[in-house]
Amino acid sequence: MARKDALLSLRETLVTRRDALRMALTGDMSLLNELASQASGDVVDCALDAAHSELGSQLAEVESRELGMIENALKRMKKGEYGVCEGCGSNIPLARLQALPYATHCIECQRQSERKDSTGNVNADWSRVVDLPGDDLLRQDFNINVS
């Protein structure tokens, strides 16, 4: 019965976080629209507005992704699937759910999914890696061959 009570408590946490994210996203979008409508000022003002817009947009994207995961967790609760690992079907430990209430995998299945994708290839996103000045020396120090 303790697990059921803990899951109900997590539901309240998820609903509270969902509502807060919805309000934040509504505010973020109105601020972005307000910034877009203000086209006056010098080049520096425009650059600052663009930077604020970009940061706001990225924050809204992260919050939107989290909101989607929370809504998925609430749907899983309605179906009676919440707290059950999508990978192996075992119960996700309460400690994990308390740390990450919208978790859909146990720790081991999450580790496996992060290591490999469905084709068995290492699942790593290198698209955000940027070469910086001096990286050639770093590659030489670690014998990294880039072709």
pLDDT tens across 3-18, in order? 888 888 899 999 998 8
State the Cα–Cα distance between residues 73 and 83, nearest whole angstrom.
9
Which fold is adopted by the domain 2-123?
Four Helix Bundle (Hemerythrin (Met), subunit A) (1.20.120)
Domain boundaries, the chain: 2-123
State the Cα–Cα distance between residues 75 and 66, nearest whole angstrom.
14
In this structure, what token pair is assigned to residue 4? 């059921």
DSSP 81-110: -TTB-TTT-SBPPHHHHHHSTT--S-HHHH
Q: Quick count: other Cβ atoms within 10 Å of Cβ 9?
A: 14
In this structure, what token pair is assigned to residue 41? 């000022």
Q: What is the average per-residue pLDDT within 139-143?
A: 52
State the Cα–Cα distance between residues 9 and 11, nearest whole angstrom.
5
Q: Hey, which residues does 91 pair with through a beta bridge? A: 84
Q: Given a cut of 70, is residue 135 above it in pLDDT?
A: no
Average confidence score pLDDT of the chain: 76
Tally of CA atoms within 13 A in the half-sphere of 83 that contains its CB = 17
Q: Quick count: other Cβ atoms within 10 Å of Cβ 106?
A: 20
Q: Given a cut of 50, is residue 136 above it in pLDDT?
A: yes
The pLDDT, as a whole number, for residue 124 is 54
pLDDT band at residue 147 under the 50/70/90 scheme: very low
State the Cα–Cα distance between residues 12 and 19, nearest whole angstrom.
11
Which residue did the predictor score with more confidence, 27 or 103?
103
In this structure, what token pair is assigned to residue 117? 């994708």
Q: Hey, which residues does 84 pair with through a beta bridge? A: 91
Segment 22-76, tens digit of pLDDT: 888 777 666 556 655 555 567 677 677 667 667 767 777 888 899 999 999 999 9
Question: Which of 45-54, 61-70, 90-99, 120-129 has the lowest average pLDDT?
Answer: 120-129
In this structure, what token pair is assigned to residue 57? 């947009």
pLDDT band at residue 120 under the 50/70/90 scheme: low
Which residue did the predictor score with more confidence, 80 or 46?
80
